[in-house]
Homo-oligomer: A and B are copies of this chain.
Amino acid sequence: MAKETIAGLAKRLGISKASVSYALNGQPGVSELTRRRVLDLAEELEWYPSSSARALSRSRAGAVGMVLSADPLLIGTEPYYMAMLAGIETALAEGDMALMLRMVGKDPAQERATYERWAGERKVDGVLVFDHLHDDPRPALLERLGMPFVLHGAPESAAPAVFSGTTTDHAGEAATIVDHLHDRGHRRIAHVSGPHTFLHEEERIRGVAACAAGHGIEVVPFEADYALKAGHDAVVALLQAPGDRPTAMIFGNDLMSMGGLLALRELGLRCPGDVAIVSWDDSLHCQLASPAVTALSRNPGMQGRVAAELLLALLDAGTIQTRPIPVSELVVRASTAPAWDALGAVDAGQVPAGGISPLL
């Protein structure tokens, strides 16, 4: 069977190609009767218009691109990405847009080359950009390429009105975490962040410092790189440093939190007895750890959905807008249990009463 085309349908129905097209696209110019006949025939034949022909004549690819630029190892172990992808794809599908995914290592040149090529080939109609960097070159590049984009996770303060993006209240998140640690009696804490090149890490650091200052809490900052090992090494370094040691530590993601926990065990320290832990990102890892780790639940699926919806609005209506990501919620677990509660859980690996069921 030869592939059906719009011309074939037209001939079968004894009408013109134009009428078929109008009928298919819900445009005026055809009678209701004709429209129904076209639609019925298309369904009967299981026929769909060719996407490339459509793309060519409409000058619209019908797809949105996304470059995941991170250490493949990190991407594979960070549940964050997959959950966000799911949110993005679901929202795009509802808007009848396909998702084109490209994974490159932590190589800015490749990400840049991908955008240039996509723009040149008009392969995608827009892109989703993540992990806003300090002095991020990507907005300017995309602007120059004429490629619509949405920047996810810009700080509220730095939200420029010239392009679409989501914003996160990093200071608010920081306050949630620091307030909690203050409540638990901590007066000296360490903050193991991700690389300072990420704008959101700068904002978090600022937020933690500000809130801690208000409480009279001392903060020891420590820059790391989101890897498990980095969390481990940070703890070792922090605890070997001269001076009072911190009684609590904030880690920039779940992987580093796990590394930190491992280090504490190695050093024979108890969590939360000797050092409490908070993760700036929740995941199954935090839930399964012993002790389970208190974490900021950022709902990556919903974040992806919001970003995707902004891009759809930009492409459909040219609407440039900024939308705040709903505030994250702190899920309190055993790793920051108050001393008296923690008695039964200080030994890493002991499960505090009631610490399991919420998972199942």
Mark A residues whose CB is within 8 Å of B.
Answer: 3, 46-53, 55-56, 61, 63, 72, 75-77, 79, 81-83, 85-86, 89-90, 93, 98-103, 116-117, 120-123, 228-229, 232-233, 255, 258-259, 262, 265-266, 283-285, 288-290, 300-301, 347-351, 356, 359-360
Contact = CB atoms under 8 A, between A and B. Distances in A.
Given A75-B82, A79-B79, 6 more contacts: A51-B121, A76-B79, A86-B103, A89-B101, A93-B103, A229-B360
B72 A76 contact: no
Contacts of A76: 79, 82-83, 86, 300-301
Given A82-B81, A82-B82, A360-B228, A51 B46 contact: no
11 contacts: A51-B123, A52-B52, A52-B56, A52-B122, A75-B86, A77-B284, A82-B82, A85-B103, A100-B100, A258-B284, A262-B288
Given A48-B120, A77-B284, A360-B232, A63 B290 contact: no
Contact of A50 (B3, B98, B122): B122
Nearest to A49: B121
A76 B281 CA distance: 14
Nearest to A42: B120
Contacts of A51: 55, 61, 121-123
Contacts of A52: 52, 55-56, 61, 122
A47 to B, nearest CB: 6
Main secondary structure of the interface of A (DSSP, over half): helix
Contacts of A265: 351, 356
Contacts of A351: 262, 265-266
B85 A262 contact: no
A103 B89 contact: yes
Contacts of A290: 290, 348-349
Contacts of A46: 116, 120
Contacts of A103: 85-86, 89-90, 93
**Which of A98, A116, A285 is the most central at the interface, judged by chain B CB atoms within 10 Å of its CB?**
A98
A351 B284 CA distance: 20
Contacts of A49: 121
A262 B301 CA distance: 26
Contacts of A98: 100, 102, 123
Contacts of A53: 56
Contacts of A121: 48-51
Nearest to A349: B349
Contact of A86 (B61, B72, B120): B72
